[in-house]
Amino acid sequence: MSTSMEASTPAAHQGFADATMIDHESDLLQISLGPHHPSTHGVFRMDVVLDGERVVKLKPVFGYLHRNHEKIAESTTYLASIPYTDRLDYMCSLSNNWAYALSVEKLAGLQVPERAEYIRVIAAELTRLQNHASTIGFLMQEMGASGTPLMYAFREREKILDLFEALTGSRMMCNYMRFGGCRVDLPAGWLDQARKTVDEYPRFLDEFESLLASNEILLARTQGVGVLPPKLAIQGGVTGPILRASGVNYDIRKVDRYGIYERFDFKVPLGEHGDVYDRYMIRMLEMRESLKILDQALHQITPGPIIDPKAKIRGFRPKPGEAYGRIESPKGELGFYLISDGTPNPYRYRVRPPSLINLTVLEDMCLGSSLADTVVIFGTIDIVLGEVDR
């Protein structure tokens, strides 16, 4: 056996921690959280300078999952990019599908049949449910709750993934929506199954909330931690639940009224303090609002065509021009900016990733708090690296 004892040079530690070198000159300790770290949601890295355990400087480092998504999309057809959008924010592939389909529909001026719109809403809200549940589970994991809340959240997630699998054939990478509609119609019995899942979901939420919401350690760890003032949030381009936790009323489902969202009766929960607890609670409340939308949509949906018969799937060539379409994905504003030059491939294909832009204010939220808080604050931003780095 060759010993790695000798061969493990200081350089061998760099990627892991940059941790072998301790600066004896100053009292500050520079450590690198990531790209391999249990709570960075993948391969994210934060260069943190610590004074004791207090963060005095924090610089995010990106790019460890840069998969040249945009370059690939520009060298392939519009249709072939849909599977790639699944892999952007791999927790919520159906929302990504919708955002991309919406942008292409804007670019080419396509109409979507009513049934398809309903299916899209149902799929997107189910996606939001499972994303928020897992996010809260991961957040608890980062607070050190040894996996139990995460297990409970994933138990519910599996039920929703079963629905996705029945609908699209895949658990995670759904590749479901098409320009002007959806790929296939709902399978028989799917609606009943979905209604059952949706009806059972509040029980899980109640259980989750009763286990967590009044836990004193949770309150102490989250309240007043990582406060994001609303001005800074707007300035930093923050969107999604984080923005609303800071008290800014901006939900693209309400602002843009894309799809058929104006038909549904739902409210937008708003926080006041903008701290970690608010961000956690806003997600819990948003799940309840999503259930309301789902309940309405699952009962209103009527039979009909699921795709515009005029929409061309193969040999699709939009007129030259550009379009920017956006939706409220579970993480925030997910936009696609497309430029067509009349060829089958987009000339420019750009993803506006909410995860990346929400990280703009990470340093502001973390400065002055402890290392343990940094991990928790980072957890409430809810990023997925596939989207941050693309």
Where in 316-345 is the site for another protein (CB under 8 A)? 318-326, 333, 335, 337, 339-340
Pick the closer one to another protein by CB: 210 or 300. Answer: 210
Pick the closer one to another protein by CB: 66 or 196. Answer: 66
The stretch among 178-186, 274-282, 295-303, 305-313 that binds another protein (CB under 8 A) is 274-282
Pick the closer one to another protein by CB: 181 or 301. Answer: 181
Residues 92, 98: Cα–Cα separation, whole Å: 10
131 binds another protein per the rule CB under 8 A = no
Residues 330, 328: Cα–Cα separation, whole Å: 7
Site for another protein in 188-207 (CB under 8 A): none
- Judged by CB under 8 A, the number of residues near another protein is 137
Pick the closer one to another protein by CB: 125 or 333. Answer: 333
Residues 302, 300: Cα–Cα separation, whole Å: 6
Among 271, 274, 330, 346, which residue interacts with another protein (rule: CB under 8 A)?
A: 271
| Site track 136-175 with another protein (rule: CB under 8 A), x = hit | ----xxxxxxxxx-xxx-xx-xx------------xxx--
Contact 320, 301 (CB under 8 A): no
Contact 27, 336 (CB under 8 A): no
Site for another protein in 25-54 (CB under 8 A): 29, 31, 35-39, 42-43, 50, 53
360 binds another protein per the rule CB under 8 A = yes
Half-sphere exposure of 293 (CA within 13 A, CB side): 29
Exposed / middle / buried, residue 11 (Cβ in 10 Å: 0-12, 13-18, 19+): exposed
Exposed / middle / buried, residue 79 (Cβ in 10 Å: 0-12, 13-18, 19+): middle
Q: Tell the smallest beta-carbon distance from residue 310 to another protein (Å).
A: 14
Sign of the dihedral defined by the CA atoms of residues 36, 40, 43, 45, in that order: negative
- For residue 35, whether the previous peptide bond is cis, meaning omega lies within 30 degrees of 0, is yes
Q: Tell the smallest beta-carbon distance from residue 53 to another protein (Å).
A: 6
Pick the closer one to another protein by CB: 196 or 267. Answer: 267
The stretch among 179-187, 191-199, 299-307, 350-358 that binds another protein (CB under 8 A) is 350-358
Pick the closer one to another protein by CB: 147 or 305. Answer: 147
111 binds another protein per the rule CB under 8 A = no
Q: Per-residue b/e over 238-256, b at no fewer than 16 CB within 10 Å?
A: bbbbbbbbbbbebbbbeee
Site for another protein in 213-242 (CB under 8 A): 213-221, 223-224, 234-238
Q: Tell the smallest beta-carbon distance from residue 283 to another protein (Å).
A: 12
Among 49, 56, 227, 270, which residue interacts with another protein (rule: CB under 8 A)?
A: 270
Pick the closer one to another protein by CB: 53 or 206. Answer: 53
382 binds another protein per the rule CB under 8 A = no
Contact 244, 251 (CB under 8 A): yes
Query: Is residue 201 helix, strand or coil?
Result: helix
Contacts 24+ apart (CB under 8 A), 216-221: 217/143, 218/140, 218/143, 219/277, 221/143, 221/276, 221/373, 221/376
180 binds another protein per the rule CB under 8 A = no
Pick the closer one to another protein by CB: 197 or 340. Answer: 340
The stretch among 8-16, 114-122, 192-200, 309-317 that binds another protein (CB under 8 A) is 8-16
> How far is residue 200 CA from its own chain's centroid?
24
Those residues whose C-beta lies under 8 Å from the C-beta of residue 188, and which sit 6 or more positions away, are none
